[in-house]
Structure 1
Amino acid sequence: MSIPNHVAIEPVRIEEGQALVIAGMGGRFTQSTTHTIPELWQRFEPHIGRVAGQIGAYTYGVCCNAYGKGHFDYIAGVQVEDAEVLPADFQHVQLKPQRYAVFEHHGSVENLKATFQAIWNDWLPTSGERVAQAPEFERYGKDFDPFDRRSVMEIWLPLERRN
């Protein structure tokens, strides 16, 4: 992925996220293997709209189960009622109610890495916020086109609760 120079970023909003069950195709990745995540989405795409118990039209890319040395699980999925009736090759994650900073990424997924870098390297250190030990996720609307420069998707970064 080519990374454009600098992306200025601010959260669109701070949100109290609800509990969700996200199910779909998953895999384990590192920063050096994230370029293969689109292949996971290609495998999952035929299932969108056909998953038993699917709720809504959003799709989600969930980063969870972060392990030392930069390993993490990623699930390309949809929200479901429960995980009991899923195909055998599906994985799922339960998201608990959580406080999030929500950011918009404008454009194709080709520049998504620059948006993440701006969030982690520019916004977070100066925000006064701390990241919670919880999954972060991307949320895509039904009209999102990963190659369209006019597309918009959201990045939900989990934040520690304030006292």
Structure 2
Amino acid sequence: MNPRIVELKSKQLLGLNQEMSLVDNKTFELWKNFRQRSKDILNKSSQDFISLQIYPKGYFETFSPAKRFVKWACVEVDDNENISTDFQRVILEGGFYAVFNYKGTVESAPAFFQYIYGEWIPNSDYNLDDRPHFEVLGTKYKTNDPNSEEEVWIPIKAK
């Protein structure tokens, strides 16, 4: 499973966020709330949804499922105009990403991520970079479907 390496340009995102941990996971509630209201965002630059995680410094160095991070449910937008005050804005900084294609359910995801962080990164020419991690949930994404597909974007920098 080899990723493609992509240099991403900065993007402006609009959505909702919530602090959580893997133990205290509030992803379902966050996305339920966002999906119901996302039709009110008029200046989307894509129909894709983005699930974005902002981890604190050192999150992966001494991993614990109880460590807290901020998760976003969002979409990319073209500009600042016509932005409802019901949503928050986040700028996704540009930089290099390893982009993996994932097919499967939430239940099979831990093994996929264990491979990325435990095998691929240590054996690659890259280290994790301290920028947001995100998933692009496009037209092939289907909740709880084993045939669901998404792109997983992991921030990297040269070793």
**TM-score, length-scaled by structure 2:** 0.84
1:141 touches 1:153 (CA, 8 Å); kept in 2? Answer: yes
**154 and 93 in structure 1: CA distance in 2 versus 1, 3 angstrom threshold:** same
Partner residue in 2 for 1:108: 105
Partner residue in 2 for 1:10: 2
User: Aligned pair 1:91/2:83, yes or no?
Assistant: no
User: Aligned pair 1:119/2:107, yes or no?
Assistant: no
Give the aligned length: 152
Partner residue in 2 for 1:157: 154
Match of residue 64, structure 1, among 54, 57, 69:
54
1:49 touches 1:57 (CA, 8 Å); kept in 2? Answer: no
1:23 touches 1:75 (CA, 8 Å); kept in 2? Answer: no
**TM-score, length-scaled by structure 1:** 0.82
Q: Which runs of 5+ in 1 are unaligned?
A: 1-8
Secondary structure of the residue aligned to 1:86 is coil
**107 and 24 in structure 1: CA distance in 2 versus 1, 3 angstrom threshold:** same
- Pairwise CA RMSD: 2.0
C-alpha displacement of 1:117? 1.8
User: What pairs with 1:71-90 in structure 2 (closer than 5 Å)?
Assistant: 71-83=68-80, 85-90=82-87
- State the identity as a percent: 29
